[in-house]
Amino acid sequence: METEAGDTFPLRYSLFPHVPPYIRILPHGQVYNPSLPKELAQFTWNAPSGISPVIENTVTQAGFTLIQGQIRRKEDQQTGAIWDCLPVTEKSKDEINFGDLNEEVKINQFPGLFILGRKDNLWLCYEIMKNKFGPEHFNFLPTTYILPRDKDLLTSEMKKKRKAWIVKPPNWFCGIGISLIDDIKEIPDKKSSMCVQEYIDRPLLIKGLKFDLRLYVLLTSIDPIRIYIYEDGLVRFATKAYSNSPDEIKNNFIHLTNFSVNKNNEEFVYNENPGDYEGHKWNLKTLWKYFDEEIKIPWKPIWEDIKDICTKTVLCGHEHMSKAFNKTIKSDYNCYKLFGFDVFIDADLKPWIIEVNNIPSLHTNTIDSFVNYPMAAEMLNIVGFHIPKVLGNKSYKAVAEKLGLELPSSCFGFNPKLYTRLKTDRENEKRNQYISEDLSREEYCENILQDLLPSDLRILINSEDELSQTFQWTRTFPSIKNSDYLNYLYTPCYSDRLLDAWEAKYGGSKQTRTEGIQIIRELCANKEHLEAPQVGLRSSRTSRYDFTPTKAKFRPNSQFFDFA
Ligand code: ADP
């Protein structure tokens, strides 16, 4: 009963027995065959604050129900999918109560994301990593001064280096409030936080224009951490020829590459033909084609560097995000996150992270649609949506008949046991054994897979089902190519070590992965993965707050990292 990419069957089976099916999301323009049973159309997508047309069209063309509603109060909680895109989540009224999320809901948010999405926080956690691991590994974010804290330091740097600096409000987007300065008199003098960053004044130019890249990065899990990057993206050009002349320093059409800025230039040209070198927006694959055909620059090493710095950027937020996650989240089903990363390439072909957008805009111009629709559909399949339990119970008979399913009714709707964060004593004991700092990679890789416990199986099931849906999305962590990333996690985490050992043993080839999957399948056939403490019960002998060190301070629901 396996299904393949390109399949238009409304449901997608798990790779494993006794795991309920997922709802298949089709790329825009494709239709289900057989058609979506009307009972499944009751699967709801909740969009509390408007919704990107890319997501809206993907969901509604398939026939699912879209509701504009609230999600921030407990009484509004429900099952199904939530696409949240409130631009401001730092005020108390906009906070999501992650602890109250129904275990059957899946939302494109994690607690603690402001650590990456705010420019000042990103610099602060990046700086910690840079100091800890050295600039040879962390040298991809332009040096940033946070005012008023760093005002004296910035003043003395500006006196030493006669060049342009870029001033940015920490929590705005679309180029709002951004300006270039080259005089200490222009240093903002506000009490509220402001970022001033070294301006990269030797950009790689295409046809004389500065450009940056909008890339998509997906975080599907924190414990263990799983990160993906999309192989296509958007290339956004400035609309006026690049110049470092001080006379032109205030010309945003030269220095900023935001679409929202440059579309206001009457010279802005929309690109209606993906693949052609025309207009002020291309897709990434067209840029790489341009590298191959026109400027003869090997782009693969640049792309590898870009994937590396995007992954490390997410890891900069690992400590904060995993503490917030362990503190609040009940179900591993609840959260995923699509980020928009802005990346910039300088004249030495070195990529820089410019910023992380927690709410990427997902426009629908020709080029944007060309990239965003397939990206979004594949992303939604990777994260995987089950049929909610109540809906499953209600609709099982009709759906099974219409689609000719051979699944038992007990394996149709959502099963909370698959995603519980509760652990048995035995599982906790095993975890304690494998989190020691002193344990070498060889040691844990050799032993951790020997006695797979139910919660281990669940981690591997989720990871393999997710990976089976990747076509244009590439997983960068865990990665057999780069197990060094594990060093950047703030503390050795059991689930990351388990997945690392799994990848080391079975991730090397299609054949070895199939062998690994077969082992899990056999264990699932005996329903071992469904042995779990009863969901909803928390005794002193079971815990979902795994190994969260208590020494660090954490203020829940605060946008600021507590760096004290
Ligand atoms: P926003 O969130 O408002 O889009 P960004 O930090 O992305 O702010 O900056 C807007 C634009 O300014 C970027 O797309 C890029 O073109 C330019 N820019 C930002 N930071 C730098 C920098 N350090 N060096 C060179 N250009 C930059």
* Per-residue pLDDT at 79: 75
> 100 versus 289: which is more confidently predicted?
289
> 175 versus 345: which is more confidently predicted?
345
d(CA 125, CA 509): 35
Mean pLDDT over 387-413 rounds to 92
* Per-residue pLDDT at 83: 82
pLDDT, tens only, 149-188: 999 999 999 999 889 999 999 888 888 889 999 999 999 8
* Per-residue pLDDT at 62: 81
Q: How confident is the model at residue 556 (pLDDT cuts 50, 70, 90)?
A: very low
Query: What distance in angstroms lies between residue 137's CA and the mean position of ligand 1's atoms?
Result: 22
The token pair at 19 is: 């795991």
d(CA 467, CA 475): 8
Atom 2, ligand 1: residue with shortest CA distance: 173
Query: What distance in angstroms lies between residue 354's CA and the mean position of ligand 1's atoms?
Result: 6
173 lines ligand 1 (CB under 6 A): yes
The token pair at 106 is: 């899946």
User: Comparing 62-71, 130-139, 391-400, which segment has the lowest mean pLDDT?
Assistant: 62-71
Nearby residues of 342 by Cβ (< 8 Å), 6 or more positions away: 212, 213, 214, 215, 353, 354, 355, 356, 357
Q: What is the 3-class SS of 164-189, one letter each residue?
A: CEEEECCCCCCCCCCEEECCHHHCCC
Query: What distance in angstroms lies between residue 256's CA and the mean position of ligand 1's atoms?
Result: 6
d(CA 219, CA 113): 11
Q: Tell me which residue of 383, 360, 405 sits closest to 40, measured CA to CA.
A: 405
pLDDT higher than 50, residue 287: yes
Work out the percent of the chain whose per-residue pLDDT is above 70: 90
> 46 versus 9: which is more confidently predicted?
9
496 lines ligand 1 (CB under 6 A): no
User: Comparing 96-100, 103-107, 342-346, which segment has the lowest mean pLDDT?
Assistant: 96-100
Query: What distance in angstroms lies between residue 334's CA and the mean position of ligand 1's atoms?
Result: 32
Q: How confident is the model at residue 315 (pLDDT cuts 50, 70, 90)?
A: very high
464 lines ligand 1 (CB under 6 A): no
pLDDT higher than 80, residue 536: no
200 lines ligand 1 (CB under 6 A): yes
Q: How confident is the model at residue 71 (pLDDT cuts 50, 70, 90)?
A: low
* Per-residue pLDDT at 77: 59
pLDDT higher than 90, residue 563: no
User: Comparing 2-16, 362-376, 510-524, which segment has the lowest mean pLDDT?
Assistant: 2-16
pLDDT, tens only, 205-256: 999 999 999 999 999 999 999 999 999 999 999 999 999 999 999 999 999 9
Q: How confident is the model at residue 549 (pLDDT cuts 50, 70, 90)?
A: very low
Q: How confident is the model at residue 539 (pLDDT cuts 50, 70, 90)?
A: very low
For the chain, the average pLDDT equals 89
* Per-residue pLDDT at 171: 84
Mean pLDDT over 488-504 rounds to 93
With beta carbons less than 8 A apart as the criterion, state whether 195 and 145 touch. Answer: yes
